[in-house]
């Protein structure tokens, strides 16, 4: 069975969270569109050059409640919840993925720190805590 678009994008999103990918500028460059930009949970704006030259935060994170919203046939908004074990904080995240050069690339990303716990977010959606 071929993976769904949601499965494919979630796998890309999860790879973007992995420390080995975040440390590897070649792998990171493949995921990020040339015009990529981010509004970090810090409130600062970053672009692809910043991510590749300065690096991205290396923390142990897990992704939950991944959902996609088709904006166009080649543009998807993804929303999800992150538990950051390293920094002991949680964030709501959104990403825009676009098909560029015949492959999905991360075009935009934003993170917003929340005081909500995973169990509270899962209770709102009726999902069970996998942990």
Q: pLDDT (tens digit, 0 to 9) for every residue of the chain, 131 residues total?
A: 778 999 999 999 999 888 888 888 999 999 999 999 999 988 999 999 999 988 788 889 999 999 999 999 999 999 999 999 999 999 999 999 999 999 999 999 999 999 999 999 999 887 765 54
Are 129 and 34 spatial neighbours (Cβ–Cβ below 8 Å)? no
Strands 61-72 and 75-84: antiparallel
Cβ-based neighbours of 69, under 8 Å, separated by 6 or more? 76, 77, 78, 79
pLDDT computed for residue 3 by the predictor: 87
pLDDT computed for residue 42 by the predictor: 87
What are 95's strand-pairing partners?
78, 109
What are 109's strand-pairing partners?
38, 95
pLDDT computed for residue 57 by the predictor: 80
Q: What is the CATH topology of the domain spanning 5-125?
A: Nuclear Transport Factor 2; Chain: A, (3.10.450)
pLDDT computed for residue 23 by the predictor: 87
Are 39 and 110 spatial neighbours (Cβ–Cβ below 8 Å)? yes
Calpha distance 91→82 (Å, rounded): 5
Tokens describing residue 101: 């050069």
Are 19 and 28 spatial neighbours (Cβ–Cβ below 8 Å)? no
Q: Is the model's pTM score more than 0.85?
A: yes
pLDDT computed for residue 55 by the predictor: 79
């Amino acid at each position: 069975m071929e993976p769904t678009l949601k499965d494919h994008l979630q796998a890309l999103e999860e790879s973007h969270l992995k420390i080995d990918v975040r440390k590897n500028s070649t792998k990171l460059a493949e995921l990020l569109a040339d015009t990529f930009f981010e509004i970090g949970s810090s409130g600062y704006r970053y672009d692809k050059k910043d991510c590749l030259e300065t690096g991205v935060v290396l923390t142990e994170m897990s992704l939950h409640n991944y959902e996609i919203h088709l904006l166009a046939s080649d543009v998807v908004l993804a929303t999800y919840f992150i538990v950051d074990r390293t920094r002991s904080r949680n964030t709501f995240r959104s990403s825009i993925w676009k098909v560029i050069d015949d492959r999905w690339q991360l075009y935009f990303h934003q993170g917003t720190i929340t005081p909500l716990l995973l169990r509270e977010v899962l209770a709102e959606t009726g999902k069970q805590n996998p942990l």
